[in-house]
Structure 1
């Protein structure tokens, strides 16, 4: 007589619990998931056995029923399953989430990013790279900014709050939502206070020995671009005595590093947001260099066109535009945008000048971006030498299994 009891791979890890719903893949679609890519798109799925509810744990299997991983299901998202464990015996329980959060914090401790706690900032949890796909947490002093890009992990909100309260001296935990995520994931959430006090309208962050005023509640993203920390300092090394032009300056961090650490002669910096210009101007005054940086409101393409018409030339140009591709269908258009922006930048850059050019579009690869620069060189007839290819700092680690989270590119170039 055959044994009809459910196998461990079909359960929550115990033989007396009901079998988990199963998500079976189409033929020849399993390889990326054996390779630990965490996103299972709807188009890769052949069928679903059982009736999993939004956020419920499921087993991912090949078309032959071979176990691949455990994940959380979302019928409202094109990412139908997010994977978190490739161990058939490891259920997705509270102990697992606490362990993952603990490991994420340990990394930031080991890299010194939790020192000078009250005035520093860092990314405490970075989604897929910390095996917590759909959860991002930024820390500024004793305030924590939580972002959910996964319906399933948003259901673990109370656990996340409890972990932060137990682990840190929290003054407040604030929920930030990202554009398009509510629609993409079926998330019914909005920016709000989750615990403690509302973050102050003016928090003073110190980075690379420079002080910045910023607003966690109303600022872009979570108020500051922590991911460019090391790149701003690296770029500054090439800017001594330069007249610098910066586009998309936001709170002025590249400009301030150029003056304070790079000993640049002067910086003209532009951003489309008047609020950002006011904050950047205040930050320059805060650091005593307001007389050497001029912040102005303006859109990058129009500003560069105007300088070109005027025959204005700069020793260096810094480009740090916002994300240009949110979906794969937008990558081609994004590369056209990067090409146009960098093409215009070279029109106002002196021979032998420095171009610092960035992309935060995760769907645009390092190779794509380099090829774009090659096209700019070909079109302009100018020789581009890439001096440094840079990316994300240690608190924004990259999972090689999920190349999409290697989103930040920063090329420091000399242009003959």
Structure 2
């Protein structure tokens, strides 16, 4: 919000008696929004009737004046309107938002992710897939980590805190900020305690019967990659007696599953972050398997190049790199990066070896990632068999109307 723009509270917006502002689309731009895609970019808008404040409710109309949806307005963002209801009679009041939060929690309860509450973790709200575009909430024990990627929903912060405190025995609620959101949304926020106690310096999380030390405050994202929970367990089934190489290991979760659940003979794991290596090493010791996993600092491409030069070969390789494409303009370069990484992995993978290769870039589709792997197979002259194509667990659901939230891809392959 600029210094010259008047400050408007949530209560003022909610009690505003003026007609709800209307956002009218350009011709031939309405189809995605009738199809329930929640992001209305500035370039799709013809005009705005009324003078909506930042975060205010607006009505989206086609160029013919047809009602499409209710949304929240943000003049600071290229996503000018985020849509939340396609029911013309809906009102985006406190009861509406509370009901959406209740629906999200009900899913996690239904699939058993709120059990073992003190030591488990899960994603409680997943943005577009939970019809709450711009809000993500992760839970670790009785602490809740809130992330906003929408300025308009950040104005509902007090309501969200109140809901979490009423619904859960919440010990603390911590705000984590996401890279790039200040510029993209005009969000003037920083990591901070919102309510209750600060998260502990080290929290011990249990997942798949394995214990991990992690930090909610200083760790990557919100401290742990909850989305790979089921993929780590699935991958482990293919690694019995294997000598495994893992790159981008972070807290070592793939490696620990490989040894404990997959009975891998040994795992050599690398990450470019020394703090991640220290935490992963401590996690292996915590579970009594420190002698079977070796964690070292190293950059993935350089590590693979070195093993290639030395003629080193592994029974299996795990690739789980960070996001490579943050904007559509970066997709082509990201696919080149994935190609290079997987191409190098082929060079140090034994014939008949297992490749577990992942991407968390939501702008790259499952089909594009598979086509990249097909190119690797073609260039190396090695036949690849895809054994499993996996994605996200139930606490990271996917809205078919917004394919961008199906971001995680995990291919388990055999390479001859």
| Cα distance in 2 for residues equivalent to 1:247 and 1:104 | 33
> Which residue in 2 is equivalent to 1:183?
183
Conserved 8 A contact 1:13-1:90:
no
Deviation at 1:65, TM superposition (A): 1.1
| Cα distance in 2 for residues equivalent to 1:50 and 1:199 | 44
> Which residue in 1 is equivalent to 2:10?
none
**SS at the partner of 1:190?**
coil
Conserved 8 A contact 1:148-1:177:
yes
Please identify runs of 4+ aligned residues in structure 1 that moved more than 3 A.
none
| Cα distance in 1 for residues equivalent to 2:390 and 2:368 | 15
**SS at the partner of 2:90?**
coil
Conserved 8 A contact 2:14-2:93:
no
> Which residue in 2 is equivalent to 1:290?
290
> Which residue in 1 is equivalent to 2:314?
314
> Which residue in 1 is equivalent to 2:9?
none
| Cα distance in 2 for residues equivalent to 1:241 and 1:212 | 23
- 1:116-143 per-residue CA deviation (whole Å, 9 max, x = no partner) reads 0000000000000000000000000000
| Cα distance in 2 for residues equivalent to 1:395 and 1:23 | 33
Unaligned runs of 5+ in 1: 1-11
Deviation at 1:17, TM superposition (A): 4.0
Deviation at 1:234, TM superposition (A): 0.1
| Cα distance in 1 for residues equivalent to 2:403 and 2:184 | 20
> Which residue in 1 is equivalent to 2:232?
232
Conserved 8 A contact 2:104-2:125:
yes
Deviation at 1:83, TM superposition (A): 0.1
Deviation at 1:19, TM superposition (A): 1.2
Deviation at 1:352, TM superposition (A): 0.1
| Cα distance in 1 for residues equivalent to 2:24 and 2:332 | 32
1:254 corresponds to 2:258: no
> Which residue in 2 is equivalent to 1:5?
none
**SS at the partner of 1:291?**
helix
Conserved 8 A contact 2:391-2:408:
yes
| Cα distance in 2 for residues equivalent to 1:406 and 1:244 | 28
**SS at the partner of 2:119?**
coil
Aligned residues: 404
**SS at the partner of 2:290?**
coil
Could you tell me the TM-score, scaled by structure 1's length? 0.96
Deviation at 1:182, TM superposition (A): 1.1
Could you tell me the TM-score, scaled by structure 2's length? 0.96
| Cα distance in 1 for residues equivalent to 2:343 and 2:24 | 47
Deviation at 1:13, TM superposition (A): 12
| Cα distance in 2 for residues equivalent to 1:266 and 1:228 | 21
> Which residue in 2 is equivalent to 1:351?
351
Unaligned runs of 5+ in 2: 1-12
> Which residue in 2 is equivalent to 1:6?
none
| Cα distance in 2 for residues equivalent to 1:18 and 1:88 | 18
1:219 corresponds to 2:238: no
| Cα distance in 1 for residues equivalent to 2:240 and 2:129 | 36
